[in-house]
Amino acid sequence: MEKADLRREYKLKRSQLPLSEVKSCSEQIFNLIKEHFTLHNKTVHIFLPIASFNEINTASFIEFLFESKCTVATSITKFSPPGLTHCIIDENTTYQRDKLGIPCPVEGVAISENKIDIVIIPLLAFDNKGARVGYGKGLYDRFLAECNPKCIKIGVSLFESTCSISGVNKNDISLDYCVTPNQIYSFK
């Protein structure tokens, strides 16, 4: 199925989930990540969810990362020109929402993409080859292209994989793994 069609379909599917199910599925996803991946003392980049989009809730996982002595980083969306900058967050970070509703650190120490060990990637859909569908702006593709080649790219999804995504191009960065509430997909 084409990326644009999947984007519409999965945005709708996700919007119809009750908040209790999003919360429960989020916990299941992050429990699988904790069990499968070595996180202690790593630099982990994680997104801050847009609540109105029913995105996976990352709050308790971020607390776990702090407890695991991880360096935790997140992105700030720049709108002109479009892109992401990255900064370190901690237990004392304060946030304000940007125009998309994304919580953004008010202050933070900048971090380079090549210092990140693991990236937790939000997405709408993914296929059995590790291709992913996000919101269609290419922000994560540009970000991931700048990461260290050893950086582990982990997508998180409320839904299982779709058979195949058409319209993938050379600039689309594939996942190494994708974690759903029920399983971990490996594309390595």
H helix count then E strand count, the chain: 4, 12
pTM: 0.95
pLDDT attached to residue 135: 87
- The C-alpha atoms of residue 178 and residue 145 are separated, in whole angstroms, by 18
Mean pLDDT of 90-95: 95
pLDDT attached to residue 131: 95
Report whether pLDDT(101) > 90.
Answer: no
Percent of the chain surpassing pLDDT 70: 100
Which CATH number describes the domain made up of 3-170+178-186?
Answer: 3.40.50.10420
pLDDT attached to residue 167: 84
In which band, very low, low, confident or very high, does the pLDDT at 79 lie, cut at 50, 70 and 90? confident
pLDDT digits (tens, 9 = 90+) for 19-73: 999 999 999 999 999 999 999 999 999 999 998 999 999 999 999 999 999 999 9
The closest of 139, 134, 126 to 175, measured between CA atoms, is 126
- The C-alpha atoms of residue 45 and residue 89 are separated, in whole angstroms, by 10
> Peptide bond before 81: cis, by omega within 30 degrees of 0?
yes
pLDDT attached to residue 157: 97
Chain centroid to CA 188: 18
Mean pLDDT of 104-132: 95
Report whether pLDDT(75) > 90.
Answer: yes
H or E segment at 72?
strand 71-79
Domain boundaries, the chain: 3-170+178-186
Report whether pLDDT(136) > 90.
Answer: no
- The C-alpha atoms of residue 136 and residue 110 are separated, in whole angstroms, by 25
* Mean of the per-residue pLDDT values of the chain: 94
